[in-house]
């Protein structure tokens, strides 16, 4: 299970959030507080996550700005369901629990990941099977944005 840690925790710099597997840092995310954008470091690769034309996208930092290696979008304005294209993998997100604000990710109708939250905090977690770490980091960022959107709508 991966967890998005507290900003500056586990020896990462200020404003950087560690992605933890147990107590080990497997990636880092620097999420913007004002825009739906972030940079992530997974291994020796840097990723850029952003929102463009209503779609959440991910690309390598070395790719052109129009490139999309990852993409998440809502097929319908009326339903809070998402479709995610992660390189050659298509996932569909559904609610695991509306009360807890958690989601289940399905590939070909079978669950491959489920989100959660840590304790009383709003830090997302992700229990995933058979997904590469960079896919899981993108899903954690999407979960962080959904938590922020929910908090903004409630206030």
pLDDT in tens, 38-87: 999 999 999 999 999 889 999 999 999 999 999 999 988 777 789 999 99
Q: Which CATH number is 59's domain given?
A: 2.40.160
The CA R_g of the chain, rounded to the nearest whole Å, is 15
What is the total count of domains within the chain?
1
pLDDT at 12 over 80: yes
The residue range of the domain holding 35 is 2-154
pTM comes to 0.94
How far apart (Å, rounded) are the C-alpha atoms in residues 107 and 89? 8
pLDDT for 33: 87
What is the per-residue pLDDT across 13-47, written as a single tens digit (0 to 9) for each? 999 999 999 999 999 999 998 899 999 999 999 99
> Which residues lie across from 72 on neighbouring strands?
56, 84
Q: Can you give the pLDDT at residue 37?
A: 97
Q: CA 73, CA 51: separation in Å to the nearest integer?
A: 10
* 89-93, Cβ contacts within 8 angstroms, sequence gap of 24 or more: 89/131, 89/135
């Amino acid at each position: 299970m991966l967890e998005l840690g507290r900003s500056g925790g586990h020896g990462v710099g200020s404003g950087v959030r560690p992605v933890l597997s147990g107590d080990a840092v497997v990636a880092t995310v620097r999420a913007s507080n004002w825009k739906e954008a972030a940079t992530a470091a997974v291994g020796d690769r840097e990723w850029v996550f952003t929102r463009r034309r209503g779609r959440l996208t991910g690309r390598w930092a070395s790719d052109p700005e129009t490139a999309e290696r990852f993409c998440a979008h809502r097929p319908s304005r009326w339903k809070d369901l998402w479709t995610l294209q992660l390189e050659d993998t298509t996932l569909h997100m559904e609610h695991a629990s509306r009360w807890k604000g958690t989601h289940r990710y399905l590939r070909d109708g079978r669950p491959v990941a489920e989100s959660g939250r840590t304790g009383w905090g709003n830090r997302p977690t992700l229990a995933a099977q058979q997904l590469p770490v960079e896919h899981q980091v993108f899903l954690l960022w999407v979960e962080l944005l959904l938590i922020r959107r929910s908090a903004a709508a409630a206030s």
